[in-house]
Amino acid sequence: MTKEAIIKEFENIAGAENVMTGETDRHAYSYDAAVLDSVMPALVVRPQTSEALGAITKLCNDNGLPLTVRGAGTNLSGGTIPHPGGVVVLTNGLNRILEINEEDMYAVVEPGVVTAQFAAEVAKRGLFYPPDPGSQAVSTLGGNVAENAGGLRGLKYGVTKDYVMGMDFWDVNGELVKSGSRTVKCVTGYNLAGLMVASEGTLGVFDKIILKLVPPAQAAKSMMAVFPSMKAASETVASIIANKIVPATLEMMDNFTIRTVENFRGAGLPVDAAALLLIEVDGHPAQVEDEAAVVERICKENGATELKVAKDAAERDAVWQARRDALPALANLKPTCVLEDATVPRSKIPAMIEALEEIAKKLDLTIGTFGHAGDGNLHPTILTDKRDKAEWERVEKGIDMIFDKALSMGGTLSGEHGIGLAKSKYMAQETSKATLAYARRMKSVLDPKGILNPDKIIGAE
Amino acid sequence: MADIHKLAQMFKELDDQLVGCMRCGMCQAVCPIFKLSGKETDVTRGKLALLDGLASEMLTDPEGVNEKLNRCLLCGTCQANCPSGVSVMDIFLKARAIMTGYFGLSPAKKAIFRGLLKNPKLFNALTEMGAKFQGVFTKKVDDMLGSSCARFNAPVIGDRHFNTLASKPFRKIVPELDTPAGSSGLRVAFYVGCVFDKIYPQVAEAILKVLKHHGVGVFMPAGQACCGIPALSSGDTDTFDSLVGINVDQFRKGEFDYLVTGCASCTSTIKELWPHMYKGDTSRTYDIGVMARKTMDISQFLVDILKVEPKELTGGQSVTYHDPCHLKNSMGITAQPRAIIKAAGCDLKEMTDAGTCCGCGGSFNIAHYELSKEIGGRKADNIIASKAKVAATSCPACMLQITDMLSQKGADMSVKHVIELYADSL
């Protein structure tokens, strides 16, 4: 087909107003939130129906057009940067919550539903959807599933994969594949819905997602503990877990981040502290009281110099505001902000923090570190200016070193941001050549023309 | 017309500001236009990427970029919520100036800005004539809202419901003032603003009544011109500079402690844009700085300086308050107008999303009326759902837009400036 004929086909399927071919429109979908070079797509299409989504997938495959699905474009690993000359399929026209079932505690959604809006709708019905990625105000559920997004509540409540009960998705031929169910238990066939989680758009195009819901905690208590060393803070983390307490949230900030946040907001954070832990326990009111008391004791035993327990909602919000400020405060310091998510086993956090400090010193880089101490998911944030070529080379070297370190400690390349384009080169290092070969064989059968989000995760062959 | 390479060079000057956008996309959560269209080119991240694309000569279609750039209300909500602290408004205003320099000003805007706004006398004379003859072309729609619509098919007016020009503009009622400080020991300069002068003189009268009541002396020079925001947001910096010049030359003739306005847009323009964007005769720079520092919204002046306090509820009329973008996003003023509503003895009923834009956006309303109407329609729905009897705000442009939207929905309520409520209670 000629280019004009293909465009006409897209218009027939999705409606002319939903097909964008102009230079400015295409440019606006050439990037995502990752610090990577942008790539112009040939066409952007915004289907409004499930059928259109399937037909578009087939059309792309029939014509060998690379297809990248995009929700809100908040991807931090380049997973939504298109392939040169490819097609971007927007899901934000597919944003209906199809069902929220209170009796059986699940919901059925289209992929373009915004996470925070979904969580709010669920909360209105007295239920709870826990995954809360930092971008939840705009990120979509389809994207969350494709990246297996996490968040602050990962430690106790798990991440997106723990809530995916089932999924309908389009294969490259435009056939609808169904997997999972509305029941808690389901062992019908391969766990294809599970296969789709974290597949970053490389194996199928999500159509409908069935998500598990849980009852919300009845009570919660938040506190902020100040530590004279990172070691003391991370030993506290280990000790809390060893005492069989799993907080809903257990967050850590290093001294550089504390100082930056304090400069940014002036909320009275202890700028001399080497580390801060922000802890929230939740559950039954009696359990919350008990656990809070134990956590308090453990913090003190491990040398916490100060401990503030939030007395009311306003104080609780102040605790979490400090955490929410971490990224914006750091982002304000320098033009380019590389937010990594190297993850290590909890016990290795002190060693990882130490390693990060060494890397920063050795390469003369500014690195602020905060993150989900409870699950070992750290966010070393490198502050730089990409236009400074010499420094940028050191940043790239620094990133390599960070992953080397994390992997040598039995950690992983990504806790919640995905592999995308940014980290595909490290894949064999964490897994094995055989693993990569297995994944590529699988992909080559499911997507023989290689049109589904090429180059992501397993790289270019 | 300069060549595209030259245009790219001009946009490179914005590079240091553009690079601050980390493309996190959080602006999608708050942009009123993105909420409607879902298009990346309609949200700030996309627009900044387009400007960056022009600067780096990756794009060849400046006209296309300009068109997208203008699909923006300049409401500033994105900037107020930007995690990286990008100066979005500053970038957009500079970008519009560069674009206008490249493409030139449209003939209609040229006539309005350079022909009319720059010549306050001619502007006044024409609107006065308009006020006399408008009855021929318009008919009343809603008495309570004071709205009218076009009698005949008129392209610019379309199906708008608008407030007609006042039969007697404010400057004819009170041409100028120079009264000494009274019991408060304070003297303020009063900047009236075009819309109050020509459409809502009763609001300007209410401000004078309130100032008198509190023993505040007033310096109000004749010959005031437009604050310049319409010209600036269309990239016409020449007209902006000359308007600032006309105003400064009038206001520096008197002494005053504060400069008050009742218009959110004028307040933020004088306070933030005059000192920042004025590139005219440098002999005015000092006075511009002084005026900017002294400028206050009228509610802010009453609450922060005169210490007017909210009253205990006396079962007064129910009022809902809409936050104008230029007060909330630019200056963070949200509490003071609410305090004034309560000081007037009214029962404040908060609407859903009081702080989201009404969709007016000045000339945006003219260029993109359908979008403007859709955003405004949601605002009107929230106002109606509040079940208040009065929709109050602090900006005459919002008053016009809200009146249009409520009138089209046949709502049984009136639109007022908060200062009118307070003046009525004295």
- Determine the distance in angstroms separating the CA of A272 from the nearest CA of chain B, rounded to an integer: 25
Question: In the predicted model, what is the mean pLDDT of chain B?
Answer: 92
Q: Strand locations in A26-91, DSSP E?
A: 43-45, 67-70, 87-90
Question: Which residues in chain A are contacts of B28 at CB distance < 8 A?
Answer: 72, 138
| pLDDT tens-digit readout, A90-117 | 999 999 999 999 999 999 999 999 999 9
| pLDDT value of position B156 | 64
Phi then psi for A2, rounded to 5 degrees?
Answer: -75, 165
Lowest mean pLDDT segment, chosen from A47-61, A92-106, A180-194, B3-17: B3-17
The residues, any chain, with a CB within 8 Å of residue A342's CB and separated by 6 or more, are: A352, A378, A380, A402, A403, A405, A406, A411, A412, A413, A414, A415
- Determine the distance in angstroms separating the CA of A32 from the nearest CA of chain B, rounded to an integer: 7
Least CB–CB distance from A33: residue in B25, B38, B67: B25
Distances (CA, A) of A31 to A25, B46, B103, B232: 12, 10, 28, 31
How large is the average pLDDT for residues A396-404? Answer: 95
To the nearest whole percent, how much of chain B has pLDDT over 90? 78
- Per the rule left: phi > 0, alpha: psi between -120 and 50, beta: everything else, A459 is left
- Determine the distance in angstroms separating the CA of A456 from the nearest CA of chain B, rounded to an integer: 20
CB within 8 Å: B84 and A328 = yes
Q: Are A401 and A353 in contact (CB under 8 A)?
A: no
Q: Are A80 and A66 in contact (CB under 8 A)?
A: no
B188 touches chain A (CB under 8 A): no
Residues within 8 A of B (CB atoms), A 84-143 only: 90, 92-93, 116, 135, 137-138
- Determine the distance in angstroms separating the CA of B1 from the nearest CA of chain A, rounded to an integer: 21
Nearest chain A alpha carbon to B28: A138
To the nearest whole percent, how much of chain B has pLDDT over 70? 98
Whole-number Å distance between alpha carbons of B325 and B398: 9
A379 touches chain B (CB under 8 A): no
| pLDDT tens-digit readout, A409-460 | 999 999 999 999 999 999 999 999 999 999 999 999 999 999 999 999 999 7
Whole-number Å distance between alpha carbons of A375 and A355: 18
A23 touches chain B (CB under 8 A): yes
How large is the average pLDDT for residues B338-358? Answer: 96
A36 touches chain B (CB under 8 A): no
Nearest chain B alpha carbon to A114: B29
To the nearest whole percent, how much of chain A has pLDDT over 90? 89
How large is the average pLDDT for residues B115-134? Answer: 81
Which residue is it, tokens 């947001």?
Answer: B233
| pLDDT value of position B54 | 94
Whole-number Å distance between alpha carbons of A296 and A275: 16
Least CB–CB distance from B49: residue in A23, A27, A332: A27
To the nearest whole percent, how much of chain A has pLDDT over 70? 100
- Per the rule left: phi > 0, alpha: psi between -120 and 50, beta: everything else, B387 is left
B312 pLDDT tier (thresholds 50, 70, 90)? confident
| pLDDT value of position A124 | 97
Question: Which residues in chain B are contacts of A71 at CB distance < 8 A?
Answer: none
A17 touches chain B (CB under 8 A): no
Structure tokens at A342: 């190297």
A46 touches chain B (CB under 8 A): yes
CB within 8 Å: B53 and A27 = yes
What's the whole-model pTM score?
A: 0.94
Kind and range of the H or E element at B49?
helix B44-55
Decide if pLDDT at A22 tops 50. yes
Least CB–CB distance from B64: residue in A23, A135, A327: A23
Best probe of the A interface among B12, B15, B22, by most A CBs < 10 A, is B22
What's the gap between Cα B57 and its chain centre? 34
Q: Which residues of B139-156 are buried (b: 16+ CB within 10 A; e: fewer)?
A: eebbeebbbbbbeeeeee
CB within 8 Å: A385 and B19 = yes
How large is the average pLDDT for residues B329-345? Answer: 96
| pLDDT value of position B1 | 47
| pLDDT value of position B153 | 67
| pLDDT value of position B155 | 62
Cα–Cα nearest to A292, from A301, A279, A303? A279
| pLDDT tens-digit readout, B377-413 | 999 999 999 999 999 999 999 999 999 999 999 998 9
B352 touches chain A (CB under 8 A): no
CB within 8 Å: A38 and B19 = no
Whole-number Å distance between alpha carbons of A181 and A199: 20
Cα–Cα nearest to B170, from B139, B142, B201, B192? B201
- Would you mind telling me the total number of residues written for chain A in this entry? 461
Lowest mean pLDDT segment, chosen from A97-111, B129-143, B255-269: B129-143
Cα–Cα nearest to B82, from B132, B141, B21, B135? B21
| pLDDT tens-digit readout, A283-322 | 999 999 999 999 999 999 999 999 999 998 888 888 888 8
Decide if pLDDT at B91 tops 80. yes
Q: How many CB atoms within 10 Å of residue A410?
A: 11
